[in-house]
Structure 1
Amino acid sequence: MTYVVTENCIKCKFQDCVSVCPVDCFYEGENMLVIHPDECIDCGVCEPECPADAIKPDTEPGLEEWLELNAKYADQWPNITDQGEPPADAESWNGVEGKRAQLSEAPGAGA
């Protein structure tokens, strides 16, 4: 099992999860974070820390697309090890449906 960052992280990118991850398995895109599935140790400490409820165990049904997306971008984006500031409008995007089209493939700054 691994944990997966899902659609609600797009444009929210709160990053509370990064500060509690014991293995630094988060990777940063311009407007989303992802978890490297081969680095995640399945401890689950990140899931309750996410204000956007965007982190799920891969055992939940319907997450295949998000597991693939996490694996793909974890290999392309920089690793992030310190909690940064979320976007100024993050709260206004929290819970918005259909954000997949808003996903930027550009890497973030990393930490």
Structure 2
Amino acid sequence: MTFVVTDNCIRCKYMDCVEVCPVDCFYEDENMLVIHPDECIDCGVCVPECPAEAIFPDTDKAATDDWLALNHKYAQIWPNITQKRDPPTDADEMNGIKEKLSQFSEKPGIGD
């Protein structure tokens, strides 16, 4: 099992999860995070830390559907992030908006 970041992270990117991850398996683009499924140790400490409630176990197929493949693909491309930074200024406004995949960006974040 692994944990998967889903669409509610898009344009929220709070990064509370990054701060608690014991193995630094988060990677970032300009407006969301992903978890590298091969690095995740399935501890789940990131789940309750996510204010956007965007992280789910991959066993929750209804929530993670195509997101596992997206997490795997982009975790190999985007920079690793291990330190929490401020979220986007409109994060609270974007939190809870449904189906944000159209706002997904492939542009890498800045990493650490």
TM range (shorter): over 0.9
Identity %: 67
Alignment of 1:1-111 (within 5 A): 1-62=1-62, 63-111=64-112
Return structure 1 stretches of 4+ with deviation > 2 angstroms. Answer: none
User: Any stretches of 5+ residues in structure 2 without a counterpart?
Assistant: none
How far the C-alpha of 1:64 sits from its partner, in A, is: 3.1
Partner SS, residue 61 of structure 2: coil
CA distance in 2, matches of 1:8, 1:98: 8
CA distance in 2, matches of 1:97, 1:43: 27
CA distance in 1, matches of 2:17, 2:48: 8
Superposed CA deviations along residues 40-62 of structure 1, whole A, max 9, x for unmatched, are: 00000000000000000000023
Residue correspondences, number? 111
Aligned Cα RMSD in Å? 0.6
User: Any stretches of 5+ residues in structure 1 without a counterpart?
Assistant: none
Superposed CA deviations along residues 12-40 of structure 1, whole A, max 9, x for unmatched, are: 00000000000000001110000000000
